Amino acid sequence: MTLELAIRVTEVMLAFAMIQQGLEHLHDKGRALFALRIALCLWVLSGVTTGFALLGLFATSLVHLHRFGGPYNGGSDKMTILIVTCLMVARLGPSPLWAELAMAYLAVQLVLSYFVSGYVKIVKHEWRSGQALVDVFAFSAYPVSESLRGWATRPRLLQGMSWGVMGFEVLFPLALLHPLALYAGLAVAATFHLANAFLFGLNRFFWIWICAYPSLIWFQGRLESFTP
């Protein structure tokens, strides 16, 4: 994947993801700001001087941070701002090198988002034993239906799920070793986010995380260009 294609595909995916986010709030008190973000996303989709549209999205993101006292949807908002910032730098930077550095930074942050999450889990006994997921299904507000709370009575299953998640996350950087490994790793990652959307209602994580995947596909190819 070329750098320009990676940037453009990321722009399009980001625009659709942010439009979906904005539509959720068009009936809220601050709908004017969300309507503005939707308009800027449509500008990005047009493909015309997208750097300035991304600058506008970056500015509205700062307004959101001020209004809500931080990223009100946690990790998904942080990833949204990260992608917007990297794309803005890629488009408005003074040289092509800036675009490469911005997309490489996004790719590295994507890899770290999985690895660090896995490391934080695997060093904790409650994750290794499966108790963390037992507590999530039994007591948290995340399960999308009461019927899913019955999974809390199946500790062996949840322990296996815990190790599956931790193993995938800590081993994810190895996907950079080969293009086929990367595509397989991204497929597993997307499935992981999709499962979280169905089980816990974390749909924003699915849409925004996959927006960063083109940067990693480009980055892996760029790394290969340095190998003899």
19-59 pLDDT, tens digit per residue, is 988 887 777 776 788 889 999 999 999 999 999 999 999 99
Residue range 173-191, pLDDT digits in tens: 999 999 999 999 999 999 9
- Tokens representing 60 are 């509205």
Question: What mean pLDDT is predicted for residues 86-104?
Answer: 96
| pLDDT, mean over the chain | 90
Cβ–Cβ under 8 Å, residues 91 and 51: yes
Q: Residues 110-119: what's their mean pLDDT?
A: 96
Query: Whole-angstrom Cα distance, residue 152 to residue 155?
Result: 6
How far apart (Å, rounded) are the C-alpha atoms in residues 103 and 128?
A: 34
Can you give the pLDDT at residue 70? Answer: 63
pLDDT of the residue at 31:
78
Contact 188, 209 (CB under 8 A): no
Cα separation, 79 vs 163, in Å, equals: 25
pLDDT of 71: 61
Helices and strands per DSSP (H, E), number in the chain: 11, 0
pLDDT of residue 30: 67
Share of the chain above pLDDT 90, in %: 66
Q: pLDDT (tens digit, 9 = 90+) per residue, 125-173?
A: 999 999 998 888 887 776 657 777 888 888 899 999 999 999 999 999 9
Q: Where are the domains of the chain?
A: 3-222
* Tokens read off for 145: 């239906």
For residue 55, what pLDDT is reported? 96
| Contact call for residues 212 and 83 (beta carbons, < 8 A) | yes
* Mean pLDDT on 69-87: 83
Question: Structure pTM?
Answer: 0.91
**Tokens read off for 42:** 């449509």
pLDDT at 21: 82
pLDDT at residue 54, as a whole number:
96
* pLDDT classification of 69: cutoffs 50, 70, 90: low
pLDDT bin (cut points 50, 70, 90) of residue 100 is very high
Rounded CA-CA distance 5/20 in Å is: 23
Residues 6 or more apart in contact with residue 219 via CB below 8 angstroms: 103, 104, 107, 108, 176
